[in-house]
Structure 1
Amino acid sequence: MQLLVYLLVYPILWIISRLPFTILYILSDALYYLLFHVIGYRKKVVHANLQLAFPEKDGKDIMRIQKAFYSHMCDVFLEIIKTMGMTAKQMEERFEMHNHDIINQMAAQQRSTVLFAGHYASWEWLLALNVRLNPKAYAIYQKIENPYFDKLVQRIRGTFGTTLLRTYESRQRIADLVENGQTFVLGLASDQSPMLSKAKHWMEFMGVRVPIHVGAEKMCKEHDLVPIFLKVEKKKRGYYKATFEIITEEPKNIPDFGISEHFMKSLEQVIRKKPEYYFWTHKRWKHAGKEPQTAVTKTD
């Protein structure tokens, strides 16, 4: 059954990946109308998240952001598929990178780096990093249940040479790279909500106290990796700009959870400027109000 679904869907994805961008965005507009006005995909979740994050905004502003978000979400979804049919030159034109030389500079000093990214603007096209960087690029991802689509996702995300690491194997693979003296750049989205049972640190994000992921910070401290905040902006439809900002070159000297909090605060500043480009369908605030009253922050 899984193979049948794949065989039926793949030809459609292949055709989409070969469409000119002008046609791609006409298709995106149609998809937006279908998801927002007809199906209402996760509209309640998005609306609730926006009201929680922006209590000062009235219904008209919330609706404007909501509609703009759905339009952007459809763009990103089709841009992911389009990656299969893009050349390195097209990617460089549409996904600008500024300050990325700091990663090459760190690599020249035998320092590996970790990119702290959020689900903002275009995080998928970050996988084209390998085209312009000296160290090998890796990214952590969640395995897809359908093995055929899982392989397809690996192929799409690895189009420009980035190697994907599944979540369960990432810690050991990174430890092996460090032990073998290999320099690398690791990219991962660090803004999702952790399982409540595994929550180790809480902070305010968009005005709401929630648990945050701290695994990337722990990895930086354990292996002396340089944490970098990856700021992505949407310049216009189909064009993005990424800027790299070193959080610290001495991760072991930063108090516990300081790196993670720096990332979340930096991401919040970006979101507040253009909230329509954040992925509001995620249940990022589902654990709000669930912080144990007597909880002691864990360090492991």
Structure 2
Amino acid sequence: MSVIPTLDIRPFVDELGKAYRDYGFCCIRGHGIAQAQISDAYKVFEAFFALPEETKRQYHLKGLGGARGYTPFKVETAKGAKYADLKEFWHIGRELEPGAKFANVMAPNVWPNEVPDFHEKAYALFRALDDLGARILRALALYIGLPETFFDDKIDSGNSILRPIHYPAITDATTPSLRAAPHKDINLITLLVGASAEGLEVRTKQGEWIPVITEEDAIVVNIGDMLQRLTNHVYPSTTHRVANPKNTNAQKPRYSVPFFLHPNPDVLLDPLPCCVSEANPSRYNTSLTANEFLLQRLREINLL
């Protein structure tokens, strides 16, 4: 008689959870997102950034803190940094139904008319990474003793962002700016596709900067400040940067596409009871919703 096998998910959960407790970063393969889909998205993003400056600036929306559309070169400044980052980017958010609960805090998307496939390719990648992020959070929930589906109803209307980034060729070798100054991410987790180009570096607990090198189709996934706060630093948000190349690659543009997975705007980011103990007492004595936390950080990085 045939017997359906019983498989143990704990080894994977333990391996993933330990990686995040130790580093706040890891690379994930076998994620199910086809390389062709990623490549198609990169093509439309590169096509947009190749447009004339005056065309791109038509999509720079004032008063939204860069939440949707285009943010020009050297606007975003990392928290605590003296100089603006050497990058321009576009923000794509969740598409909501008319009258949706969070429509008052999540603006509608805008799409560049000059790149016909931009909407289709970009939002398909948004949805794929949103689904993958939910799967990763299920494993992270299990590792700290929560039900596997704990995060499901806390991210189903999350204010998540897909951010295609263009780092232009560096024409001034003496610039004090970096492509992205040392920073931590705001959100729950970040998923970065196509991270093969050099530059991304993570600061270890010992203060050493180490390069993030991906293999084949691997996606880089790291913890953000919201999940660090929610787990009372059980999952640490790790400082990282995009360094300027010290070789001829500095004269080449660099493209990057992170997906910032956010919780629903009304989720409270108070430390979870399972992450508070005598050995790890609560580090926060005030309550903040995800939206309040986001607005606070957008002001700190010069987007609001």
* Superposition TM-score, scaled by structure 1 size: 0.29
Q: TM-score, normalised by structure 2?
A: 0.29
**Structure that is richer in helix per residue:** 1
